Amino acid sequence: MNDEHEHRSLVEGVKGDAKTKIVPVNVSSVGRIITSGRQSSVLDDWEIKWNDGSTDLHRLQNAASQVRQSDIPVAFPTETVYGLGADATRSEAVRGIFAAKNRPVDNPLIVHFHSLSQLRRFLPSSTDGTSDPIPAIYKPLIENFWPGPLTIILPTRDDGALASEVTAGLKTFGARIPRSFLALALLKLADVPMAAPSANASTKPSPTTAEHVLEDLDGRIHTILDGGPCSVGVESTVVDGLSSPPAILRPGGVTIEQLRTCAGWEDIVVGYKDSATIDGTAPRAPGMKYRHYSPKAPVLLYEAGTTQPSQEELLKATRKDTLTCCRYPLPLESTIEILEVDLGNTPESIARGLFSALRLLDRNGVDTIFLEGIDDTSGGELAAAVMNRVRKAAEVAVR
């Protein structure tokens, strides 16, 4: 079966079977985490005391069964963005992700685990057969940032424990343990590692609410678990500690300044470009290749420090009656309608609202989106992640 026919068959199979449903889940009704009291127990060996009979638990159990048994992925919230999850050990299930998103097959997927003990089962054994298979370079990061918005690059096993589609032909894969309790509970119930990119159509802005997922994937999947809006709003940071020096492959919820406080990561380098790159090589991590995060309307980015665009420049940029401006008012003629979106003045608030704002503007049918960039040269917070996303979304950047 060729890729095009397989993609069409998977999508038509969903459309012909059932309409996509948003399933609300109140995580406070599902259960609570039980640990041994050791500092590392949440990451290593932990359990959930389930609230048996809970409607919300029943909904999660149904979703977990779909992950284990179906080739149609399930959308669920994490602390970063909504993910599109499938059993990372089954090729048919992972191909369902690519079909639903219309995602290029050479774009690798991040695999989510519920614990370190589960992760270790999918790593190559140490040479002496006794030491920890997780490379020592990652131990400070795991202690400081897991569970949370950080993905680490790890070597794959030679026996195909993970589906080959996960790695896009690489000898490594990205792994993380999410902080979201709903995500952890789903992983625990499914008891399989879950490949889970963002739950949007490929190239579109990432989803931070269940409604965003429905906009893109209605009729392409069965179930969207609704746990409310995501708290971070941009994807996880991806780091490679197998290279020397260590590199950050995608900026996200953990900053480069935070990483540099960890032993062995003081000299971490930036290994990504903010613009999309198209060449014949497979990207080392998601988000390194192709255009991403793009709304329907063309985006013109004015980098921090550039002069506010004049009326003539804005009129030249569009031939229709609607312009969009973020953050500042502009003295335009009455024939031009301005829709202004203020995302706040901190990288955290901008990160939480960026993708929602781009989707809102698309729903309003705007002709052009003008974005005012923020300063990411001094580092700190999520500025680098925000600017990485908007630069990939922009068709034109004014510097």
pLDDT per position in the chain (399 positions), as tens? 444 444 444 444 444 455 899 999 999 999 998 887 665 556 887 899 999 999 999 999 999 999 999 999 999 999 999 999 999 999 999 999 999 999 888 889 999 999 999 999 999 987 656 689 999 999 999 999 999 999 999 999 999 899 999 998 899 999 999 999 999 999 999 999 999 999 999 989 999 999 999 999 999 999 999 999 999 999 999 999 999 999 999 999 998 999 999 999 999 999 987 764 444 455 556 655 555 677 888 888 888 888 776 666 666 665 444 445 554 444 545 556 778 889 998 889 999 999 999 999 988 888 888 888 998 876 555 788 999 888 888 877 777
Q: What is the reported pLDDT for 173? A: 97
Return d(Cα 15, Cα 352) in angstroms, integer: 32
Q: Write out the binding residues for L-threonine.
A: 80, 112, 176, 236
**Tokens 């794959």 belong to residue:** 156
Both tokens of 2, joined, read: 């060729």
CATH superfamily of 3-226: DHBP synthase (3.90.870.10)
End-to-end Cα, the chain, rounded Å: 47
Nearest to 21, CA basis, from 71, 63, 55: 63
Sequence ranges of the chain with CATH classification 3.90.870.10: 3-226
Nearest to 314, CA basis, from 327, 331, 297: 331
Sequence ranges of the chain with CATH classification 3.40.50.11030: 299-398
For residue 322, list its beta bridge partners.
337
Q: What is the CA angle 365-366-368, rounded to 5?
A: 145
CATH for 299-398 is 3.40.50.11030
- Angstrom distances, CA of residue 233 to CA of 146, 205, 356, 389: 17, 11, 9, 11
Q: Write out the binding residues for ATP.
A: 103, 107, 172, 196, 198, 206, 250, 293
> Cis bond leading into 178, ω under 30°?
no
Q: Write out the binding residues.
A: 80, 103, 107, 112, 172, 176, 196, 198, 206, 236, 250, 293
